Amino acid sequence: MPNPSPPRATALTATALLLLGALAGCGDDGDSKDEDLSAQKLSWKDCPEPSASEGGGDAPSPLPGGDTWKCATLKAPLDWDKPKGDTIGLALIRAEASGPEDRRIGSLLFNFGGPGGSGITTLPAFGQDYKQLRTRYDLVSFDPRGVGRSAGVKCENDEQLDAYFQQDGTPDDDAEQRTLLDSTKKFNKACEKNSGKVLPHVRTTDAARDMDLMRQVLGDDRLHYFGISYGTELGGVYAHLFPKKVGRAVFDAVVDPTQNPEQGSLGQAKGFQRALDNFAEDCTSKTQDCPLGDSAQDVKDRIAKLLKDLDGRPIPGVFPRRLTQTAATSGIAQSLYSQEFWEYLTEGLQQAYDGDGKVLMLLSDSMNGRDQDGEYSNISAANVSISCADDKPRYTTADVRAKLPEFRKASPLFGDYLAWGMVGCTDWTVAGAADHPDVSAAGSAPILVVGNTGDPATPYEGARKMVDALGKGVGAELTYKGQGHGAYDSGNKCVRDAVNGYLLNGRVPSTGTVCS
């Protein structure tokens, strides 16, 4: 979503990584007239430091045992309808399997969400979580087209983005609405000016075709896949296009594939509100006094008052910027992606009540891909570009105003914020492809679908919708009764054992299995 609001379905790993610093990258463009791209040989080399568009930072640390992460560039058609035409370079990263060669299954391809998250930076940052999977798989991830060094979309510069994310994303009158729409149109035109050639070719269907090319070049008969957040939508589209090529696949933090953008935004409003309710209940149920209020409702009332006050009177944030209502809202949303972030939300709110908005602004910066040097990754530009190319509906201010009561009922705190996000694609230069993705995958191998009951960004109900949409006998649903975005990276042993048991040994958990 192109206004100052949470990306469509970014995985915790991709957003949390922006607080910690990013790790690696690669990429290239070229021409291909008669070359058989499926026969290309990849040149794997030590990974350089990540580009600014990937989030910056240091090159990835050595792997246990002294092995190193390797990066390569895959050539893919710019336009899959013209496979012999111009090519783009897709950045890949790999850690080779640590176990015996005769136990190796193949490559396990990861997508961590967004759309717009850099797999080049995310996989090594959280690679330790996948240590057991590496015993039998080469761990592989990539910057999808439009992201990072894979023909990364460029829109506004850092100074312009600072202003863009400071604007009022929840307008209260006609003048504020015009300002928001003008700012959104300006952002969209900058994307067209700076990246017009690639914008028609960043749809999820294009990325799915890229993944099948990766499968072939990596030498696998079937695609073994781990998709998180938006990565579940990408995986579902792949399964629809190439059902007979699906190997062992896991979808974690599941996008509801049956929803249009309005329904998805409304679902997120409910999801983030539920997560905020859980945060407030957790704070006030502890034995010591909750520093944010005497009851869960008191906690939420104080947050609502803070945001209302910030609408007219921003407070100092990260100098020289001030914490606005919109920045505070996105910072709160970011902190709800993981229960581990709740302590930062508590600290940030305490400081904001005392007139210091630094912590909440740092959380907001993390959501938007801004580092401490003021440089932005291209996660927001890529998120907008892919979402608008995928999503057919275009919403007007009249549509938003008509839906505001329903959004406010779903979430008094996040409702306006997410409702106004629907205007982001209205002036987009590329027509959207469909109301929602087609993930029907008759004939596919089993896909393990993992839903988290406390997930704010991809609400739990989406897991069952994905299972139904994949088709009979394809999806196997696993429920995790937890908090935060996603289940596997929560560290829950039951979830880890179930996922590892399938990916490593082919054991599909019974549908309806519950972990807590």
Single out the residue of 380, 327, 346 nearest to residue 14, CA to CA: 380
And the tokens for 503? 């990916």
State how far the Cα of 115 lies from the Cα of 23, in Å rounded to an integer. 19
Choice among 224, 240, 436, 485 that is catalytic = 485
How do 246-252 and 113-114 pair as beta strands? unpaired
Verify whether residue 335 is a known catalytic residue.
no
What residues contact 84, with CB distance under 8 A and at least 6 apart?
32, 33, 34, 77
CB 412 within 8 A of CB 170: no
Start-to-end C-alpha separation, the chain: 32
442 contacts 243 by C-beta, under 8 angstroms: yes
Residues with Cβ within 8 Å of residue 115, at least 6 apart in sequence: 7, 8, 9, 144, 146, 147, 204, 230, 234, 382, 383, 386, 387
Active site residue 229: yes
CA distances from 120 to 29, 71, 291 (A): 17, 8, 39
Of 54, 94, 96, 50, the closest CA to residue 72 belongs to 94
Handedness of CA 326, 332, 336, 337 (dihedral sign): positive
CA–CA distance, 417 with 404 (Å, rounded to integer): 10
Cα angle for residues 250, 364, 329 (degrees, 5° grid) = 95
107 is catalytic: no
**Run of H or E including 511:** none
Q: Which two tokens stand for residue 41?
A: 């040989």
Token pair 């890529």: residue: 382
The residue whose two tokens read 């002294």 is 66
Q: Would you say 394 and 208 are in contact if contact means Cβ atoms under 8 Å apart?
A: no
β-pair partners for 447: 249, 475
Closest CA to 458 of 69, 8, 36: 8
Which of 32, 229, 377, 385 is an active site residue? 229
The SS3 call for residue 318 is: coil
Structure-block tokens of residue 187: 């952002």
Among residues 210, 371, 390, 455, the one annotated as catalytic is: 455
Structure tokens, 409? 């009922």
Maximum CA extent, the chain:
70
Q: Which residues are catalytic?
A: 229, 455, 485
